[in-house]
Chain A
């Protein structure tokens, strides 16, 4: 609480000085700059240069962040898409193998230990036997 009060007092007092400064004439500001050893003629240009550098820096950071995001999105798409497809295929195979018309030899293959390629191949084999989800719907 004490710290909040200190900050409020500092902020308010400094704000009063800041506002008095903003109400000062340009000549007075120039006098103030000279009083602290700054050449009024170069003050604006050096601060403008800092602002422009900060804006450029921010722009670069945004560009880098955007590029990084695109890269991450691409990676995510590839990985997530592949995983999702594989999961879908395994689920589809499980549904097909659970059907009563599936030959016993095929039904015994539960698909859990099979590679993604094997899963796809088995779904193809079942399709050739006329066992597809399409015919069910």
Chain B
């Protein structure tokens, strides 16, 4: 007798309508649009064709293509992606593959079951967007996408309802999901990734310093507003002239380009002398290199880091995620030199046959001036006497770049100054090297963080002076004294393409920017930077010290269980609000009952109040008024709020005896 009939709620049983299709296509386009701008143009076109094909079939009400045809298209797509990316397992190629698969899935989407799979694909595509950017803006846009996608899922369960109602339900569900998500985010035991080898292309496309410097390298970087790192000082803040953030040290010059050359390890010896000691933490943006930035002269090392012979702090691994570390530095401090004759000789080498005029000038100084220290001072004096122009748009230089800069064009950016000074020193036989890094930064008055941007990339020189070791000389600051104290933007000519943020000087705009940056910083630290360490720190602050994963799991399940229970209670809440008038009347009857006059079940309000008035003559007036008001409010045509308030007052204050 029990006939097997198809389940009417089963998604396999319900065909996809035009509305479902339109909605899903919208969701897919929304989450794929950022990818479409990254993948090769032909791939975007390919995916667009698949979407268009489905739309055409839907509008003309034709049959969907056969499985074989779709398999053919899928294979063509995979081969094309394989050829373009040389692999189909990378990050970028994986996303390209997902885009093609999304289009193909649309072409075989018949029932709500298929449509649900497309919804899950949409959710996954949201995740893939975070591979490229996790900014606040992205999060907000993707939250919008999430509402739309969830709305699609709701509409499969309630196909008859208006889309707005489904969106509202989706929004409510997401609001209810937020507390659970927050608890999971905080308490879910974090495993430090990656779990397995990352695809090769996972970290391409980050800007920052490189381990070489040629004319134009830094001035290109200078037009970028991108943040290199942020630093928070515990205690006193350094002065602008103390803000030299040491990066790669360049030794080897080939006439045009400076390179780091081989590095060796050194121990972090005690730093002597110096003006001030600074303790600070740095939040470094990922730049896919080993180096960590520290104020000169670094006096400590963060964990998993080491120091090169030339004083640069290096991480054991490439910095591929935003990273936070604590540092101590001594401004103007000196570390005991351990330079050998070999390394000093390396700091004197110049490529032969380049820059003859510079070489001649330096050698003429060498003949008249005695001592490396005096030579250095003379060079500084000479540099200051020339009229150089500091500009982001230096003229192109030929083969003898230093000669042309020093004697002909006299226009250059910091790399020109640093390179020229070191060449001058080396030509005079004084050991010298180029140091790259960042100079300056901007303190945010709201959260006290110093923001250092790519535009603050800088290059300076170091000269080895016997007895005192390596001495920093900033030729840019020597030639253009304003550069260090008032920033790059105020030192270059007004026509130069200075980053927008550095130019704007409107007060409210600036305060808006400070707010935004402080918010971003907090977002970076607490949302994006929430890792195993941060979790431990946070839990310790909550009182859960040395929480292992078992404790975390217990805590997690308990909290999530409580939240679900809370939601259930919400869904259980009383559906029918009791009538306040009736409540008051019952309270009144209870009071009379307690005084020895219970209301008989058959007794109406009029009979009962008249009986009560006889029994309690002192309160007769109140009893009568309560009875009248109750009858008027309960059985009258219209009730007034004022009457209700009066009734409430009389009942509350009613004492029968």
Q: Is chain B a partner of chain A in the same complex? A: no
A interface residues with partner B (beta carbon < 8 Å): none
